[in-house]
Amino acid sequence: GESVGLHLPTLSVQEGDNSIINCAYSNSASDYFIWYKQESGKGPQFIIDIRSNMDKRQGQRVTVLLNKTVKHLSLQIAATQPGDSAVYFCAEKGGSQGNLIFGKGTKLSVKP
Amino acid sequence: NAGVTQTPKFQVLKTGQSMTLQCAQDMNHEYMSWYRQDPGMGLRLIHYSVGAGITDQGEVPNGYNVSRSTTEDFPLRLLSAAPSQTSVYFCASSSGQSQETQYFGPGTRLLVL
């Protein structure tokens, strides 16, 4: 079946270091992927997305890498700041109805 | 723009009661959806709509009804609340009829006793 999972449920990094959050997906037909950030008590906030015809996409301090060969997605956050502390979700568009399928999330904690 | 708004922010219900969770967006988005978020389960799609007058079921539709009489509003109705429906509910919208780049509301916390 379709699944979106995360390799690490929690990640703790030092302020200023780079963070890498990983995500595995199982549906090779998925053509769109997206990362969300969710702070405590708030709704998910869009970070960055990527289509399957791309390997890499960069935003402000964030980069998403897509490896279709091993069905792996990663989110890189440069110079991680305390404000980056949150739960990060990946999602793929590949459900039977073209719906987004969300992973369970990785909690990122940034130590000052 | 206010974006996606949800009311109420928090609600306590007794088993068997019914209620409506409100969702509105002012971005003229065609696509709207409802998710529930449970600990360790991520976000699961309940119902969605690709435009006014059109709704469809998601992954976990049982116990919920929706309607889309206008582009702006997409209410979620719990017909007879059950403790298993205790969750945080998020409404989202996106432009066009696609689910891509959805914008989420702040959520409604529901506790069913």
Query: Which DSSP string corresponds to A74-91?
Result: EEEESS--GGG-EEEEEE
Instruction: Please state the length of chain A.
Output: 112
pLDDT value of position B97: 61
pLDDT value of position A73: 95
Give contacts of A99 with chain B, Cβ < 8 Å.
45, 48, 58-59, 99
φ, ψ of residue B83 in degrees (nearest 5): -55, -30
Alpha carbons B50 and B48: distance in angstroms, whole number = 7
pLDDT value of position A3: 45
- CA angle B59-A68-B41, nearest 5°? 30
pLDDT value of position B95: 86
- Interchain CB distance below 8 Å, B58 and A97: yes
Residue found by looking up tokens 């590949």 in the block: A94
Q: Is A46 on the interface with B (CB under 8 A)?
A: yes
Of B4, B41, B105, the CB nearest to A104: B41
Which of A9-18, A52-61, A69-78, A95-104 bottoms out in mean pLDDT, i.e. has the lowest? A95-104
Interface test with B, best of A54, A89, A100, A107 (most B CBs within 10 A): A100
Residue found by looking up tokens 């110079």 in the block: A79
pLDDT digit string (tens) for chain B, length 113 residues: 789 999 999 999 999 999 999 999 999 999 999 999 998 778 999 999 999 999 999 999 999 999 999 999 999 999 999 999 999 999 999 986 666 788 999 999 999 99
Residue pair A27/A52 in contact (Cβ under 8 Å)? The answer is: no
